[in-house]
A and B are shown apart, each in its own frame.
Chain A
Amino acid sequence: MERTDDKRMPMAILGGELSADGEMIAAACMDGVYTLDLQSGVRKKHYTHESYARTAFWLSSNELFSTGYDGQARWFRLDSGEENRHQKLHQFWSWDAAISPDRHRYASVTGQYIAGGYKYEPAEEIEPSVVIGDCETGDVVHRLPHVPSVQAVAFSNDGRLVAAGNLMGEVRIFDIHSGDCISTISTADFTSWGIIKSHCYLGGIFALRFTPDDKSLLLAGMGPMRDPMAGNGKQLWQKWEWSSGDQSKMIDQIHDGENGEGLMEALAVHPEGTMFAMGGRLRGGDWNVALFSLETGNRLTTLKTGYRVTTLQFTDEGQSLLVMGTQGQPDHKKDGAFPDFGRIEKYRLS
């Protein structure tokens, strides 16, 4: 992979999306929602959430949709420069959100991890953890149950399903029309009960994506370990074939010798369905972004970006990979402001 673009944003980028024409980026940052013109480098902060913005999507070339740690979804029109709608989705924050391929539906997941037992088993949800709504009207269509905290969500490619993964490694797959949970996946491989520093659960599924045929799900996170707070668990992906009920089975996972250490929190599937990218934070090893064959699971190539990757996206024509994330926040100001620490890079695939 050859780097073709390198841009900075003032604050950490927690989520974002490249516009359909490939020219603009919508970035959900700690201090609000920005756009960045990749060609000119002009960046603009358009609006804020009451806390960090977590996700940002293009509903059209003129309208942004975002969710934040304030539990809100916001709609913003670029031509008028005004927010045209907002919707309180959750009492707690939006851990992750997704937009259906046709841009008609949104899904957002929430859930506060509260100690439910002596070993810190998560308590039951106090509000529905999965919200599905209408992008045009903002209306919530479904509020669906899960076990908090639910940290990752994705739509299927046909737009009929929503998958949501949680702290404990449980994925629930919902039919977005009926709201029924039609399948579950349960894996203990992304969650640790801390032994060294903490007696509690940590980790979980931080990203998931449907494969192009919608028959399987890719899950990403960090492998189990005695001290999850060290963050040096195995860089882990798993591929699960889901089926109705609880008959889902794991069909592949990161191959021995191909992983380093770190929390993986971003996934992207190539538009041609030949490969996928996984990225996150490097703790040990020599890569924090890698491409894998969807067919064989073999690692194809790697990147060491030098910063935490929160978002990955292949361009529509499949020629490039967009990488977004954050370096550590600087520990002092320079000329009255913190130096930029949000990162956006583009890599051409060879």
Chain B
Amino acid sequence: MNQPKRRSSCGSDEHTIHRRLFLQGTMAASTASVASFNGLFSVPLLAEETKRHGKKCILLWLCGAPSQFETWDPKPGTATGGPFSAIPTNLPGVHISSLMPKCATIMDKLAVIRSMSTKPSEHFQGIDALTRGDMPRPPFTRPILGSVIAEQLGQLDSPVPQFVLLDPCPEGNEFKAFKAGNWAGWLGAQYGPVRAGGDYGIPNIKQLDSISQADHSDRESLRKFFSKKYENDRRSAAAASHNAAFERVKGLMSCAPLFDMESLPQSDRERYGGGAFAQHALQARHLIENGSTFVMVANGMPWDNHVFQHEMHQMLVPELDNVLYQLISDLEQRGMLDDTLVIAMGEFGRTPWLNDARGRDHYPKAWSLAMAGGGIKGGVVHGATDAEGFEVTDGKVDNRNLFATIFTALGIDPHEDYDLPGLPTFFRVEEDAHPIKEVLV
């Protein structure tokens, strides 16, 4: 019979003291001193040991799908080009939208793919394919990118959540429906995201004043023992998920200060910009710096501009421009860019033609995204579309190629199969789809 998992602490007074110091520190009112991974530990060496030096990833999830014409693949002067002009970048001969002047100065650090060509043309299916890497195969649920990366590169026993979704918008139409689904899939609930940001907050992670630290710890041990026994006796996935949730809450209680945006330097907050997406991109940087492995930053589904295309893109694109610039600059300054992959993408692109509602509609046939750092070579523009952006003319990339590229960049074998007893054989990337070698370091 399986034995309950042993406590990692031997129970000595020394450990008890450290544990109490640890909790006192993290339950204190938020201050900059504890709002960091190191601040969670009374013994600095313990912090360094826990903070494994590995690859990390920030996904700027541009849900709703930005227009490639108003970002990475402008077509100025053409019938489909839209109203915004193009500007030169620090890569000779490469132009991007005039809405992105800051990214124009760091194109040597970016890899832009202008030849994405995918199948789903509706949001839910597009989000599914571009966050899981493949089309659905019911009844099996492929884990989302963040879950795979958390499982491969993260530390399950870390007090800091390994996969965080920062999304202040609890709505989001199809994205709302998607968010309500099973993100971790066959990897299990322990690899699902911790959700935070804006309207979500993280409820119920403050320990009640009426319960002492020791009581709280003992109750948790007792609960853990019985529920683990139940889980093992019955091989219960529900109990496993329940346990994973408790583990996560325990971790969140210990690292709550990391989620306190107020604790971040005001100068940083101003640099990133006032909007929720920008603030959470900064928070993503902070989480990655302090032990998270994968942070996904979203803000509802603001890019779905069937209506008000120009009105929305004039605001959203400059925000994205600044966020990417600040994030990549910060990571580079901190010596983290080589180990941190930043991806900015949505679920597809938008039509070359303008509809009669002032907008562009869904277009998976030919679209763009950008990446930087974490094993990705900067200064590369991969692929091309025709003069008016209707078709990919060079270097076509689909979701499988993209995921093969992401996994390879992060040092994860894209073609390894999952160890799934009783399930069909699944690979991280199916059909041996090849990565885009041109953009890999």
User: Which residues of A come within 8 Å of B, CB atoms?
Assistant: 11-12, 30-31, 50-52, 69-70, 92-93, 112-121, 123, 149, 167, 194-200, 202, 227-231, 263, 281, 283, 307-308, 325-331, 338
- Decide if A114 touches B276 in the complex (CB within 8 Å): no
Count of B interface residues, CB-CB < 8 Å? 41
| Complex Cα spacing A192 to B80, Å | 29
Task: Give every chain B residue within 8 A of A229 (Cβ-Cβ).
Answer: 302, 304-308, 312
Segment with Cβ contacts to A, from B47-55, B166-174, B247-255, B340-348? B166-174
Q: Would you give the shortest CB distance from A333 to chain B, in whole angstroms? A: 9
**CA–CA, A327 to B64, complex, Å?**
24
Which parts of B94-147 form the interface with A (CB within 8 Å)?
A: none
Give the distance to chain A from B299, nearest Cβ to Cβ, in Å. Answer: 6
Q: What distance in Å separates the Cβ of B300 from its nearest Cβ neighbour in chain A?
A: 6
In the complex, the number of residue pairs spanning A and B with C-beta atoms less than 8 Å apart equals 129
Cβ–Cβ contact A230 & B307, under 8 A? yes
Binds A, one of B233-241, B313-321, B400-408, B415-423: B313-321
Closest to A93 in B: B83
A199 with B357, Cβ < 8 A, contacts A114-B315, A116-B274, A149-B311 known:
no
Closest-CB distance, A238 to chain B (whole angstroms): 20
20 pairs of residues in contact across A and B, judged by CB atoms under 8 Å: A31-B79, A69-B84, A112-B314, A114-B315, A114-B319, A120-B275, A149-B314, A196-B171, A198-B300, A198-B302, A199-B198, A202-B311, A229-B308, A231-B357, A263-B357, A328-B356, A329-B353, A330-B353, A331-B353, A338-B353
Provide the residues of chain B in CB contact with A326, threshold 8 Å.
356
A56 to chain B, nearest CB (A): 16
B23 within 8 A of A: no
CB pair A117–B275 under 8 Å, yes or no, is yes
Indicate if B354 sits at the interface (CB-CB under 8 A). Answer: yes
Cα of A325 to Cα of B357 in the assembled complex, Å: 11
A325 to chain B, nearest CB (A): 8
Q: Which residues from A are CB-within-8-Å of B354?
A: 12, 328-329
Question: In the complex, which residues of chain A have a beta carbon less than 8 angstroms from the beta carbon of B318?
Answer: 112, 114
The residue on B at minimum CB distance from A115 is: B275
Which residues of chain B are within 8 angstroms of A331 by Cβ–Cβ distance?
351-353
- A115, B83: Cβ atoms under 8 Å? no
B311 touches A199 (CB 8 A): no
Cα(A229)–Cα(B314), bound, Å: 15
Given A197-B301, A231-B308: A50 touches B85 (CB 8 Å cut-off): yes
Complex CA–CA separation, A283 to B307 (angstroms): 10
Whether the Cβ atoms of B302 and A51 lie closer than 8 Å is: no
